[in-house]
Structure 1
Amino acid sequence: MQVNTGTAEQPVAESSLKGKTLLLPFILICSLFFLWGMVHNLDGILIPHLKKACQLNNRQSTLVDTAVYLAYFLMAIPAGILLKKFGYKNSIIMGLTLATIGAALFIPAANALTYLGFLGSLFIIGCGIAILETAANPYSALLGDPAGANTRINLAAGFNGVAAFVGPLVGTIFILSGKDMTPEQMSKMAPTERSAYLLHEASSVKMPYGVLAGVLALVAILFFVTKLPEIKNVSKEETTGGSFFGTLRHMHLRWAVVAQFFYVGAQTCVTSFFIKMSIQGGHFDEKTAGYYLSIYGVFFVGGRFVGTAIMQFVKAPKLLAIYGILAAILCAIAIVGKGAYVVYCLWGIGFFMSIMFPTIFGLGIDGLGDDTKPASSWLIMSIVGGAILPYIMGTVIDINHDRIQSGYIIPLLCFLVVIYYGISGYKIKKHLA
């Protein structure tokens, strides 16, 4: 493995990857995990909020997820090309720039009260975050001793988990109003009063997303002025030279793509409908439901750090399968249960989902050498599960007369796929012909 500092023409010995020289790069990478975690975890607030402000049904409200994750799908190949051509640092700066633009566009979208405007802004943010994840996930794994790759990627992803607490908390305080008019109340409003109410609801997103745009821009500047090691993979085995489609000859990568599709779909389903589940199933008000979503984030980040520690003693695929089984059991209880403990089951699901994304990612790129970068694109592309499965879940809920618990059959089925990957799908097998 070779490392470049400053320019591609200045190779640095592998030994330079050891020690304190990697501390600042790793800290900056961790900040990216936190920032895209904020973006994703604000979606759980945005979905019920925009559903109210824009007068949507459940299926329409999930287009928030569709906009973000469709961007992942469409940007996966371009992001991989950018990564191969410009390297980790420059790709990260490009991703941060796009995300900054998307967050800033929330302000005119709120002023115009246009759902398409919000979706367009989210799509641009998603494009930026897709580039960031394509670069930062493998970079965190490669930034040091290969034996510690899974530990590093889980540690970095732990900061993504921190955002699972901070994002909903910020959203609950600054976005949710706690006011939810019934259709009967809305029908009794005068047209001007109704328009003023909806515009006021929509305008609450301007401040948090304006601040987010500023922070993203600041981090982009920090990356621009900081020298980072550019890591090249050198495999002892013959490779395709990082061929995008050739990478799929690795069977364990193919299964990782499938598992990641269903995992991201499951996670997005759980968080997107968490507030609705808390209101309908737990009988809590909107603000309390928002704070409970933040507590869900505590369980998520707790599971991430606990899982990282357990991984020192339990092999990653085995722990993945165990966590998948426990998440599936809790999901089944949430479907048939009654009362507030249904929400507590969702907290537990968050705990056990916490290690799934980074672990599947780490297992999927294991041993790929020069195929790591295009493999990263495939794994980011698989995040399109977050665009498709919540829409299916919203449709199931609408068909069942707005019964939220019926929709949780979708994440339950997703966890079965993750369990299979942890038991068998992760195994490295001979390349396909």
Structure 2
Amino acid sequence: MAGGAVSNSTYTSSPPSGKQAGNYLFPFILVTSLFFLWGLAYGLLDVLNKHFQEVLNITPKRSTLLQGAYFGAYFIMALPAGMFMNRFGYKKGIIMGLLLYAAGAFLFYPSARALNFDFFLLSLFVLACGLACLETAANPYVTVLGPKESSEQRLNLSQCFNGLGSFLGPVIGGALFFGSGKDDLTSVQLTYIVIGVVVLLIAAFFYRTKLPEIKEAEGEAVMKDERPLFAHKHFVGGVIAQFFYVAAQVGVGALFINYATEYWQGTSNEKAAYLLSAGMVLFLAGRFVGTALMRKIAPNQLLALYAFINVLLCAFVMTGSGAASVYALIAVFFFMSIMFPTIFALGVKDLGKHTKRGASFIVMSIVGGASVPYLMGVVTEMYSTAISYGIPLLCFVVVFYYGWRGYKRS
């Protein structure tokens, strides 16, 4: 409905009233914790990028292979994760994701001992395979833990905790990784060991907790729609828009520390990491602000407006105008905040029996984050870091079009 939240009417449980409504609260809190976990993993990623450049003596272009391994895992794992959950349920899918997450985190210890970048790529790939399982389950699952009319608002609320994790990641990384000495990976080992232990504890908690079963409910119009999944133009557009949005988001963050230290004179790596955290604070604030604004502004309109603003901001970032352009780059995070959950909800709306598979494909589109950072690294080596931000600019143009026209259901 115009001016309100986009509701995902293709998923529901039995009507959440009375005692049953209260039964959804604890599972909602538990599932929302997963959003924090993968936000933390992503927040640490951009700090690792710069840290490995110095400790392992690799180029910015090679360091962006971290993003390639991380987001490439989403492409490879999302569809198998969706198939696994179709057969065994969301609870087992979540537990599998947590176990893979923990395994990847523990692999950071031998990777650091070996000082082997390729081993780190493997460790991160395993970790991200776990995250792909979690995202494939949690995004659609949150939409049914309550009234379907407020599903979009619930998803944005849960994604706020993703933003919190993304904020804490650079804070932790900046304090531990850059504060322990250029040639020291001990802090990386300890950080990921702690993360692995915490994730295992949460997996045990999920194992012992009974979660509500999800059933698909299809309205009359949806039941009469016998078209195959890819005949739904708004879904196809959502996959494309999500690909380019994630490409832009990852590209903006991947070279942020490089950009800040190059164009703001006197900025250290540690200070740049804290500036990145400031961007994540805006990202988190933007989720709350966006959720509130969607009560008055149609989500697709807000999506188009935010994407257009980011096109303008990226154009200014490309000028490399000192501190002002770094502030503009930080502001980009605020206007990216609502894009993922809004595109996701618009893309899976009214897919009926195709919703689970559709959700898997939209999660697969996160692979966009694997390619753009590397391309930005290539442009950085050929021209400059500032010029490389023209690539996220073009990505935001695609997101603008989806919010303007591409979201419409045929």
| CA displacement 1:255-282 (0-9 Å, x = unmatched) | 0000000000000011111111110011
| CA displacement 1:140-162 (0-9 Å, x = unmatched) | 11222111111010000000011
Match of 1:148 among 144, 147, 150: 150
1:280 aligns with 2:262: yes
Partner-residue secondary structure (3-state), 1:105: helix
| CA displacement 1:291-336 (0-9 Å, x = unmatched) | 1111111111011110111111111000000111111111111111
Partner of 1:265: 247
Aligned partners of 1:407 and 1:332: how far apart in 2? 11
Partner of 1:103: 105
**Aligned ranges 1:86-235 → 2 under 5 Å:** 86-177=88-179, 197=183, 200=184, 202-235=185-218
1:345: Cα distance to partner?
A: 0.6
Percent identity, aligned pairs only?
A: 44
1:58: Cα distance to partner?
A: 1.6
1:203: Cα distance to partner?
A: 2.8
Contact 2:41 2:166 in 1 (8 A): no
Contact 1:17 1:144 in 2 (8 A): no
Contact 1:240 1:247 in 2 (8 A): no
Partner of 2:48: 46
Q: Which amino acid aligns with 2:249?
A: Q
Contact 1:242 1:370 in 2 (8 A): no
Partner of 1:354: 337
| CA displacement 1:333-377 (0-9 Å, x = unmatched) | 111141111111111100000000010001111111221110111
Contact 2:380 2:387 in 1 (8 A): yes
Partner of 1:396: 379
Partner of 2:3: none
Aligned partners of 1:332 and 1:37: how far apart in 2? 27
1:204: Cα distance to partner?
A: 2.5
Q: Which moved more, 1:19-28 or 1:152-161?
A: 19-28
CA pair 48-218 structure 1, distance change in 2 beyond 3 A: same
Contact 1:99 1:213 in 2 (8 A): yes
1:247 aligns with 2:229: yes
Partner of 1:421: 402
Aligned partners of 1:412 and 1:18: how far apart in 2? 46
1:120: Cα distance to partner?
A: 0.4
CA pair 60-263 structure 1, distance change in 2 beyond 3 A: same
1:19: Cα distance to partner?
A: 2.2
Count of aligned positions: 399
Aligned partners of 1:242 and 1:89: how far apart in 2? 29
Aligned partners of 2:329 and 2:301: how far apart in 1? 22
Partner of 1:256: 238
Aligned partners of 2:389 and 2:179: how far apart in 1? 26
Aligned partners of 1:241 and 1:45: how far apart in 2? 50
Aligned partners of 2:195 and 2:174: how far apart in 1? 15
Return structure 1 stretches of 4+ with deviation > 4 angstroms: 12-18, 237-243
Aligned partners of 2:158 and 2:409: how far apart in 1? 25
1:13: Cα distance to partner?
A: 6.5
Q: Which amino acid aligns with 2:304?
A: A
CA pair 24-241 structure 1, distance change in 2 beyond 3 A: farther
Contact 1:242 1:372 in 2 (8 A): no
Partner of 1:336: 319
Partner-residue secondary structure (3-state), 2:43: helix
Contact 1:98 1:128 in 2 (8 A): yes
Aligned partners of 2:259 and 2:229: how far apart in 1? 40
Contact 1:241 1:371 in 2 (8 A): no
Contact 2:223 2:352 in 1 (8 A): no
1:234: Cα distance to partner?
A: 2.3
Partner-residue secondary structure (3-state), 2:214: strand
CA pair 13-306 structure 1, distance change in 2 beyond 3 A: closer
1:79 aligns with 2:81: yes
Report the aligned-residue RMSD.
2.0
Q: Which amino acid aligns with 1:305?
A: F
Aligned partners of 1:115 and 1:157: how far apart in 2? 31
Aligned partners of 1:13 and 1:388: how far apart in 2? 42
Q: Which amino acid aligns with 1:278?
A: A
Partner-residue secondary structure (3-state), 2:37: helix
Partner of 2:389: 408
Aligned partners of 1:300 and 1:14: how far apart in 2? 31
Partner-residue secondary structure (3-state), 1:229: coil
TM (norm. structure 1) is: 0.89
Mind listing any 5+ residue stretches in structure 2 that lack a counterpart?
1-10
Match of 2:22 among 20, 23, 26: 20
Partner of 1:296: 279
| CA displacement 1:112-151 (0-9 Å, x = unmatched) | 1000110000000110000000000000112221111110
CA pair 97-120 structure 1, distance change in 2 beyond 3 A: same
Partner-residue secondary structure (3-state), 2:322: coil
1:247: Cα distance to partner?
A: 1.8
1:372 aligns with 2:351: no
1:242: Cα distance to partner?
A: 12
CA pair 239-84 structure 1, distance change in 2 beyond 3 A: farther
CA pair 242-57 structure 1, distance change in 2 beyond 3 A: farther
1:15: Cα distance to partner?
A: 4.8
Aligned partners of 2:225 and 2:253: how far apart in 1? 35
Mind listing any 5+ residue stretches in structure 1 that lack a counterpart?
4-11, 181-196
Structure possessing the higher radius of gyration over alpha carbons: 1
